[in-house]
Structure 1
């Protein structure tokens, strides 16, 4: 019966892998494995002698990794890109299996549990994102995990972490983990492998290497909008919370220092008790929280943490792991969007993955190896729960609206953003608009009368209001369009040329 169950689960995995790959393949050619296309195009650019960091793919994506990474991608250009896409999907699914086997070995889990881990990983949002974009992130996680767990021969331990860091810098935190756990030789080998890879990149691509290490590596804005909901790092959450640009670096540095210190301290304790798989995953979660950019495909570590919580002893830990698995599989901001009009609630849902990974870093795996009295956790747990309730029910300042965007002249031709029709217009008003509600946002689009010089939007009381630009449409009307997470507490002010408010709107009915 057990063998049948194992075979059945692996069959489920195989079916899910095929379905996932087919869904990726059915995407438009320009959107299919778009990150892999960037790797491929950047490698071709280097082969042709063009500057690596001047390369921009058709979708606007630049190459953002160190020069050593493109050396690894160059052999891939020997294959036609279509063949590479098929191979990459297969390799990504194989990496999922390898991760499940590694975690299962660390837990001394049964074959049935390993198959279940593989299935859970595959359907999670981070792994699906790796498949959809053709990302390298899952391979970085695999290299760091098997090395930190000590699954490679002793004399090579640390090398895989160093190579992973040479492709993407965040695994360097594992070097600190090696040091705090007394694995001095592993740390030295990791740093040596990292330095050797960087030196190889500098030898083959000296100009690109100089450019990367002296400036490009710090230009995180090249990667995209760091305040977007896809970036579930601590910095991304702080930016969505409306923290000012002046205060952001200091607040972020203090929080990250605390999160990483807590994670490393708990990882050290776990390692001392022989729990290397949990220790490695905990450090991996710290890299997700600490990195300025943690897109969905980077968050495989958080899924592994959720599974380890489910596998831990104690109903509370298992329940927390189950909740975290749901968070890492579903987009709660979409699923629960219609349950509350509060912007605080929406903010909480849309930052659930950020909050979840921080909670894992701070709490470890629920005190599994830290001896405390059972009731010692009661008061902090109640305080945290109460804080989350307050946050969920409190209108956030205007600057904290996580989805606000005002559209510009470049968007005028897009009917999704500019859909206003004059039929049924409220004649005589300084501003006439229509509202459309979507799954994760609400759009407002309209026109203004001649006496209106500017529009000002506040998504909630307090904080700085947002300016909504006025644009001249093809028909000659002055139009505007913006989106917001919620209009429940919003206020739209129309201003005269002298700055006085000529009209205020606080009622927004979808479909009006």
Structure 2
């Protein structure tokens, strides 16, 4: 006799899954000694706290600051803690945020009650093994926080005056979530979109008061300098532009290559936005949000693999179709294959087969758009309840 899956059993299995992952990564030494981005965050906060050049060389790290000054303001409290405490705290916080993202995505899909509790545990147990989540844990990234802030505006904050604040804060922290401000203004709730825009502008104004020089430098110079974040041809860059740079074999494309890239990116932006808006207006809010997220990731100049934590809502998108759920799990797990390709700055000399294999997330994003475009909700009553 197969035992009934209860919330207690589901959460026990989720805890075992997370524990196994952390134990495995610790034994391998892949998780504990890294936290590259977490170190940069702390250094950004340190620079702001001591009045150093935020966008120059940072103390104790090799990377450069790539976020707006508002993010450095948020990171200031981290400067009062040693990395030895920040690292485990970052892992625990991201595991918690992973559960929050799963919970909010399920709510947006109309899942309620006991199924919501069990589903949240299930998403946590599976999603923690997906490559973007593992990269987020290893780097000490903030991606799951950004996803949670955007999802909160469409769920727990939706019918409150605070709807939109989460998206605005996310955009203030990392800029790229600003695409969801446009989404809210077009798809609604438009008041939340307006609130998000005002909140984002408020983060800029606040940072201008606290760090006027850094704010000016970021918004007038560093925002458009994507080389600060790393090499665009790096296999970790899973955007359309990154894939095309590897295909062209030239990080400084000529006019023809630039034109091709621009046309492809604009086409993806147009198609993706239409798919997202049609889904939202049909009552499929989760599908609309996933489509907008996939579009943003595809058209961004730099989309590192850990940016693709939107694979978690994609998993939830397959909740009502077992074959689609299985396909999504396989797709987000198969992306590990990208690390089997030769690195060491050799991407520009890859052969066509290696280039083709270097864009699994681009394929995942395009497939996600196709799934949302063809998706039909079996019952939109729950969706209407959340609108």
Residue 276 of structure 1: how far off its partner (Å): 1.3
Cα distance in 1 for partners of 2:32, 2:327 equals 39
Mapping 1:16-95, distance limit 5 Å? 16-22=17-23, 27=29, 31-56=33-58, 58-95=60-97
| Gap change, CA 1:35 and 1:3, over 3 Å in 2 | farther
Structure 1 counterpart of 2:375, from 365, 368, 372: 368
Greater Cα radius of gyration, structure 1 or 2 = 1
Cα distance in 1 for partners of 2:161, 2:31 equals 45
Structure 2 counterpart of 1:324, from 331, 335, 353: 331
Cα distance in 2 for partners of 1:159, 1:101 equals 19
Cα distance in 2 for partners of 1:29, 1:148 equals 33
TM-score by length of 1: 0.65
| Gap change, CA 1:313 and 1:131, over 3 Å in 2 | closer
For the pair 1:251 / 2:260, whether they are aligned, the reply is: yes
- Structure in which a larger fraction of residues adopt strand: 1
Cα distance in 2 for partners of 1:239, 1:108 equals 40
Cα distance in 2 for partners of 1:184, 1:94 equals 30
**Are 1:21 and 1:131, in contact at CA under 8 Å, matched by a contact in 2?**
no
- What secondary structure sits across from 1:64 in the alignment? coil
Residue 15 of structure 1: how far off its partner (Å): 2.7
| Gap change, CA 1:150 and 1:280, over 3 Å in 2 | farther
Which blocks of at least 5 consecutive residues in structure 1 are unaligned? 336-341, 371-512
**Are 1:263 and 1:364, in contact at CA under 8 Å, matched by a contact in 2?**
no
**Are 1:64 and 1:223, in contact at CA under 8 Å, matched by a contact in 2?**
yes
Which blocks of at least 5 consecutive residues in structure 2 are unaligned? 342-349, 378-387
Residue 66 of structure 1: how far off its partner (Å): 0.3
- Structure in which a larger fraction of residues adopt helix: 2
Residue 319 of structure 1: how far off its partner (Å): 6.1
Structure 2 counterpart of 1:200, from 201, 206, 210: 206
For the pair 1:269 / 2:278, whether they are aligned, the reply is: yes
Residue 90 of structure 1: how far off its partner (Å): 0.7
Q: What is aligned with 2:193?
A: 187
Cα distance in 1 for partners of 2:352, 2:333 equals 20
* TM-superposition CA deviations, 1:392-427 (whole Å, max 9, x none): xxxxxxxxxxxxxxxxxxxxxxxxxxxxxxxxxxxx
Q: What is aligned with 2:218?
A: 212
Q: What is aligned with 2:308?
A: 299
**Are 1:88 and 1:134, in contact at CA under 8 Å, matched by a contact in 2?**
yes
Cα distance in 1 for partners of 2:304, 2:247 equals 18
Structure of higher RCO (CA pairs closer than 8 Å, 6+ residues apart): 2
Q: What is aligned with 1:120?
A: 126
Cα distance in 1 for partners of 2:222, 2:338 equals 34
Q: What is aligned with 1:377?
A: none
- When the two structures are aligned, how many residues end up with a matched partner? 360
**Are 1:327 and 1:353, in contact at CA under 8 Å, matched by a contact in 2?**
no
| Gap change, CA 1:30 and 1:182, over 3 Å in 2 | closer
**Are 1:40 and 1:76, in contact at CA under 8 Å, matched by a contact in 2?**
yes
Cα distance in 2 for partners of 1:257, 1:357 equals 15
